[in-house]
Amino acid sequence: MKELTKAEEQVMQKLWELGKTNVKSIIDLMPEPKPAYNTVSTIVRILENKGFVDHEKLGKGYVYFPVVSKESYKKVFMKRFMSNYFQDSFKNMVSFFAKEDKMDINDLEELLNDVKKDLDKED
């Protein structure tokens, strides 16, 4: 799976939020200053070429929809992130964020319990 640029990711976030939608609706959800219609339309076509988005004809226009789920992209992104910055170590990543966010022992215990619960669900 290819990595998204910042602009592509912003558009994908809106597509994941909206599901099937047109370019105008994507723009409507974007913060000010709103990007130009042609800019967003071009990004959507790039996302389609990368395999993240597909479209259907609706009247004279098109509706676009994600074909890659947010969850699937998140897994790939986080694995790449962990590999690039934390030597493929979940422990190193959690340790970094615990230090940066100044997590206390109760927060870490809660995180550990959440992870254990998720692992139990997989069994």
- pLDDT, tens digit (0-9, with 9 covering 90-100), for 43-66: 999 999 999 999 999 999 999 999
Angular region, 117: left φ>0, alpha ψ -120 to 50, beta rest: alpha
Q: Is 89 helix (H, G, I), strand (E, B) or coil?
A: coil
Chain segment 17-35, per-residue pLDDT in tens: 999 999 999 999 999 999 9
Q: Indicate whether 123 pLDDT > 70.
A: no
Global pTM reads 0.78
pLDDT band, very low/low/confident/very high, at 5 (cuts 50, 70, 90): very high
Give the tokens for residue 50: 């990368």
